Chains A and B, each alone.
Chain A
């Protein structure tokens, strides 16, 4: 009788633990599936562009930004994937001769958050090109400059990493 109570509670705790584990596992699977879907859609867009079907490529990419993203996906990962997709969409808008639509896509992408990374720099580049297409030289120059500042920083980091990865002179391989 005395031992039955604690055993019952241990059972409840174990059950809750299994439930939590299952929920966490299911969430991670959902995140990975979302990434896999984005991967598939980018590959499809590549194929469609290769075939000259810009509308189908655009459709494939819109599925990433218009779809529901897993709420618990790390914010930086979500931002990276979505900003990269907005970059491509803006690029397609520019190719289609619609710089205003490109600006809208860029604004959506930059609205997801800022960072000194490749994705933000790409959005600034394509926004500069859109301003340029709209004969707004000053805005284009500002965006290009901001992109180059990030680019310079990234180049310095890349060079530093390659220097670190190189064996020190005199070290035995």
Chain B
């Protein structure tokens, strides 16, 4: 590297100092700023503007407030409505699911399935029962009723099982 490139010239040092001063404070108030280059001063002014909040002139404040307030209020209302909607959904969805669960469980429970009417007894079975209900010594009539009941019982159980298996 050359010797003259490493050491800044006096003019370069003055310009750098002026730019630093312009960035630090208002350039117009600084008399030494007159020495600063114009392009550096413009850049400094832009940087200062970017950092500063947007200032509304006092005269324009009522107009801005009149126009911005409804928009801000609408935004807030929309936000509140959305929050209410979410809360309602959060409460209603599980509640609806619970009601549906309960209803579907109850409708598939005994009440809805109901008891099946037993198959109609045959005339022979009823005759055997009537015979047994006449009483008398011995157990012949009861034994006959027992035999008739075996066939009826098989039919009854098979019907019940089939119905319960087929119930969705």
Contacts and interface: CB of A to CB of B under 8 A. Distances in A.
Nearest to B119: A118
B114 A74 contact: yes
A126 interface: yes
Given A16-B100, A154-B126, A84 B161 contact: no
B63 interface: no
B108 A9 contact: no
A105 interface: no
Interface string B98-113: 1011001100111001
B160 A155 contact: no
A121 B129 contact: yes
Interface in B115-145: 115-116, 118, 120-123, 125-126, 129-130, 132-135, 139, 142, 145
A69 to B, nearest CB: 12
Dominant SS among interface residues on chain A: helix
B157 A20 contact: no
A21 B122 CA distance: 39
Nearest to A9: B93
B167 interface: yes
Given A72-B109, A95-B139, A12 B93 contact: yes
Contacts of A23: 105
Interface of A: 5-6, 9, 12-13, 16-17, 19-21, 23-24, 27-29, 31-32, 35-36, 38-39, 42, 46, 72-77, 79-81, 84, 87-88, 91, 94-95, 117-119, 121-122, 124-126, 128-129, 132, 140-141, 144, 147-148, 151, 154-155, 157-159, 161
Given A17-B100, A144-B134, A151-B130, 18 more contacts: A6-B89, A12-B97, A13-B100, A21-B104, A23-B105, A28-B167, A35-B164, A38-B157, A42-B153, A84-B149, A118-B129, A121-B133, A125-B142, A125-B145, A128-B135, A132-B135, A148-B130, A158-B121
